[in-house]
Structure 1
Amino acid sequence: MPRFVGHQKGLNSVKRVVQHCSKVGVKALTLYAFSTENWRRPPDEINKLMGLFLKALQREVTKLNENNVRLLVIGDRTAFSQDIQTHISLAEATTARNTGLVLTIAANYGGRWDIVEAVKKWQHAHPDLSINDLTEAQLTHWLCLKELPEVDLLIRTGGEQRISNFLIWQVAYAELYFTDTLWPEFDEAALDAAIASFKQRERRFGQTSEQVTKC
């Protein structure tokens, strides 16, 4: 079947996972929709992906708002059409006051881009300071997702076992979960399996097991 059929089915998976995350109490979910490297794909596929993105913004925001979901879009949105940019801004404004799940869509996003842009923003905000004055905490303030806690769990579908330039700063201490399940087939049961695996992990953050137990 054409690759675009998979993308269409993948949107259904987004809906299922968002609903289930809200149900089980997940506070924040970030989905990698389109990377900075994805522009290398065939033009026809890119055009169809952009159309699917726009259609989702037009049709799904009302449902998100009704379910108290806040929508954010991270990445360089200037590469998108003006129509898509307008609907992104409208979607974020519409859901800005919602207090439930924070759903972030990474679109034209790359982890390396995120870090470079953060350094530029820091330097612009502090023109009198040297780059030697920059600290991890200061840089974090200028990154995408700065309002959210660091990532706890990163799920990679489709049998791939790499991060692929996704939130490479934010996943420094994330638990990694790899599954052969393709994204269009990823459902509530698959998400529950990932969460169950996460609950079995011992998160030490550089400490020993004894230190974690005492905490």
Structure 2
Amino acid sequence: MDGNGRWAAARGLPRAAGHRAGAEAVRRCIQAAIRRKVSCLTLYAFSSENWRRTPEEVADLTALLRYYLRHKVAELNREGVRIRIIGDLERFDPDVQAEARRAEELTIANTRLTLVIALSYGGRADIVQAAMRVAQAALAGTMDPAALDEAKFSRFLQTADVPDPDLIVRTSGECRLSNFLLWQSAYAELVFIETLWPDFDESHFDAALDMFARRERRFGARPAP
């Protein structure tokens, strides 16, 4: 969800205003996903690399996260949204960690939409941590390393209980994955759009779904004659 800073700069506003506008785009995106009966939506809200930003910007982002976890989760729960958090939550303040876990517990039984929020998440770290858990299981004798395959390895990732993404959308003209779901996105369809994230709305959501619908997904197989 890129472009918050550029959106704010173009309007002579502080970056924090761009992040607040981006949060509104998140709300629109979730509503569009519900209306289109999307079963699982993952939002890359805060990457492991975002900690490198200025302390002021990190504080603004954390404050916004804290506000939405405290004040918007009840609304999502009423909408039937299940919240799942992935990433290294330990890097956040204890109150943010507690609010994130509370959101997961409150919404655990919901089935209308699974909303995966990636916080302090990095795809490489996810894979490394999964490999460490595989090694620990092998050392403990609970798993035979010779029996390891891709499906079994996937169970050690943070996303073990959600499907791999079919479609990944990146805004603001950036054309790379930036450490997002690297293992899980092996066969995802990629859509890159020029729109800055705060301007992303239902029409952009529908356009991405339309592009996805027109793709021929072969998963490495040769096309039918």
Are 2:138 and 2:145, in contact at CA under 8 Å, matched by a contact in 1? no
Aligned to 2:200: 186
Structure 2 residue 17 is matched with structure 1 residue 27: no
Q: Structure 1, residues 39-91: CA drift from partner, whole Å, max 9, x if none? A: 11000000111110000000110001000000011001001100001001100
Q: Output the CA distance in 1 between the equivalents of 2:159 and 2:144.
A: 25
Counterpart amino acid of residue 23 in structure 2: L
Deviates more, 1:151-160 or 1:132-141: 132-141
Q: Does 1:37 align with 2:49?
A: yes
2:138 and 2:108 mapped to 1: Cα distance?
Answer: 29
CA-atom RMSD in angstroms: 1.3
Where does 1:18-167 land on structure 2 (aligned, <5 Å)? 18-127=30-139, 128=141, 134-167=148-181
User: Which residue in the other structure is 1:173 paired with?
Assistant: 187
Any conservation in 1 of the 2:46–2:120 contact (CA below 8 Å)? yes
RCO comparison, higher one (Cα < 8 Å, 6+) = 2
The TM-score, its normalising length taken from structure 2, stands at 0.91
- How big is each residue's C-alpha offset from its partner over 1:142-172, in whole Å with a ceiling of 9 and x where there is no partner? 1121112221000010100000000011110
Report the Cα distance in structure 2 between the residues aligned to 1:194 and 1:58, rounded to whole angstroms: 31
Task: Name whichever of 13-22 and 131-140 sits farther off.
Answer: 131-140
Aligned to 2:16: 4
1:138 shift after superposition: 1.7
Whole-angstrom CA distance in 2 between matches of 1:140 and 1:101: 22
Q: Which whole-Å CA distance do the structure 1 matches of 2:174 and 2:145 have between them?
A: 36
The whole-number CA distance in structure 1 between the counterparts of 2:199 and 2:138 is 47
SS at match of 1:181: coil
TM-score, length of structure 1 as denominator length: 0.95
Mapped partners of 1:9, 1:38: distance in 2: 18
CA deviation after TM superposition for structure 1 residue 122, in Å: 1.7
Residue 116 of structure 1 aligns to a residue in which SS? helix
The offset of 1:132, in angstroms, is 5.9
Contact 2:172 2:195 in 1 (8 A): yes
Q: Distance in 2 between matches of 1:59 and 1:126?
A: 43
> Deviation at 1:104?
0.6
In the alignment, the residues of structure 2 paired with residue 4 and residue 130 of structure 1 have an alpha-carbon distance, to the nearest angstrom, of 50
Q: CA deviation at 1:198?
A: 0.4
Q: Show CA shifts across 1:4-50 (max 9, x none).
A: 11110000000001011001110000000111111110000001111
2:212 is the alignment partner of 1:198:
yes
Structure 1 distance, partners of 2:136, 2:74, is 37
Alpha-carbon distance in 1 for matches of 2:135, 2:181 = 21
